[in-house]
Amino acid sequence: MTKRVVILGSTGSIGQNALRVVAEHPGAFEVVGLTAHASVEALARQALAVRPRRVAIGDAAQAGALAQRLAGSGIAVEAGPDGVAAVAAMDADVVLVAITGAAALSPALAAIRRGRTIALANKETMVIAGRLMRAEAAQHQAALVPVDSEHCAIFQCLDGKPRRHVQRLMLTGSGGPLKDVPLERFDALSREEVLNHPRWRMGPKISVDSATMMNKGLEVIEARWLFDVPASQVEVLIHPEAVVHSMVEFIDGSVLAQLGVTDMRIPIQHALTYPDRLPTSLPALDLAAIGRLTFERPDRAKFPCLSFGYAAAEADGTAPAVLNAANEACVQAFLDGQIPLTTIPRTIEAVLAHHRVAPSPALDDVVAADRWARDEAARRWRNGA
């Protein structure tokens, strides 16, 4: 049966890979909706290739240019955040949420409230509003199928097993591009060195998060909500080969792991086809050629952002939203050349320390905490954190 697919954030790294998965399986998928933020040309090219019913561009100022590029194609053009949410709510079997950052929250909720299967690549939504996302998904019978490779691995290892059998989730991480770079050099690193991930080719935001290890901090909170376990039961292990994508330890000491080649098309395809599977044209995993798999504990002193993830999960309430927003603001400032890398953890720590956590926040509280944290982060780095 052909699955109707909406891809939110189709012009990004995950979105483009999703379209490659679709192209590899003629007849398996029909792309009915695509969205981007401002990449008019890339979105128009994708739309003319896969012929969705609707597209949306988040930056409303680009709507005219997009409509002009798609004139006569019969493809409807939406614009602005409401337009993106309208495409998210389209009639579809699966909605891939591959918008980066907190901007994905509103479209993700729009799709959840329609009871769609959500292929969730975006991690920030689960971090800032995990409790709400879970509750809405349960209420509207929307399935949340993770795309993040670690969570996809855990999802497959759990495969419906009861939570009372779970002892620990073990999230693996390659260690990022700075694993072996001395801390003293961090402030002198160029944007290119920081974005040069040893194993994965990803968008700029998540690449900086990998360098600071905030990515693992966010993933701990994401796992806490996706799998309904306390953060204290989520362990992070550095695994430079990035072959074991994550593991689950059960109460009888058995450990299940999911392994695979390092290519995001595998977890993307898993989420788009779930609960079915389709073949892949990717090379098979050759463990003999890899030879050795190694694991080590993360260096929490060098990468404090990991500890901030645990602390925010423990504080709960609005703390994870503040962590995420302060991080998003700092990462953008780093990418824009405004601050050096080490200002990121210093600023986040200060913002978290000054946040008064609101317990059991509603969506409005999360949005207010997000806004406060962005302003507070900017104020702090301008004043030398």
Binding site for ligand NAP (CB under 6 A): 9-15, 36-39, 58, 84, 98-100, 103, 121-124, 148, 200, 202-203, 205-206, 264
Nearer to ligand NAP, 203 or 340 (CB): 203
Local structure of 315: helix, strand or coil:
helix
Rounded to the nearest whole angstrom, what is the least distance from the CB of residue 103 to ligand NAP in the complex?
Answer: 3
Local structure of 90: helix, strand or coil:
coil
Q: How many CB atoms lie within 10 A of CB 16?
A: 16
Rounded to the nearest whole angstrom, what is the least distance from the CB of residue 126 to ligand NAP in the complex?
Answer: 10
Task: Point out the residue whose Cβ comes nearest to ligand NAP.
Answer: 12
- Interior/surface letters 253-284, b for 16+ CB within 10 angstroms, e for the rest: eeebbbebebbbbbbbbbbbbbeeeeebeeee
Nearer to ligand NAP, 46 or 318 (CB): 46
Rounded to the nearest whole angstrom, what is the least distance from the CB of residue 32 to ligand NAP in the complex?
Answer: 17
Of 15, 197, 115, which is closest to residue 7 (Cα–Cα)? Answer: 15
Nearer to ligand NAP, 12 or 52 (CB): 12
Nearer to ligand NAP, 173 or 298 (CB): 173
Q: At what angle do helices 13-24 and 40-50 cross, to 10 degrees?
A: 10
Rounded to the nearest whole angstrom, what is the least distance from the CB of residue 200 to ligand NAP in the complex?
Answer: 5
Spatial CB neighbours of 259, under 8 Å, sequence gap ≥ 6: 243, 244, 245, 285, 287
Query: Are the C-beta atoms of residues 116 and 94 closer than 8 Å to each other?
Result: yes
The end-to-end CA distance of the chain, in Å, is 55
Rounded to the nearest whole angstrom, what is the least distance from the CB of residue 367 to ligand NAP in the complex?
Answer: 14
Nearer to ligand NAP, 126 or 369 (CB): 126
Nearer to ligand NAP, 36 or 329 (CB): 36
Rounded to the nearest whole angstrom, what is the least distance from the CB of residue 116 to ligand NAP in the complex?
Answer: 18
Of 180, 223, 191, 210, which is closest to residue 327 (Cα–Cα)? Answer: 210
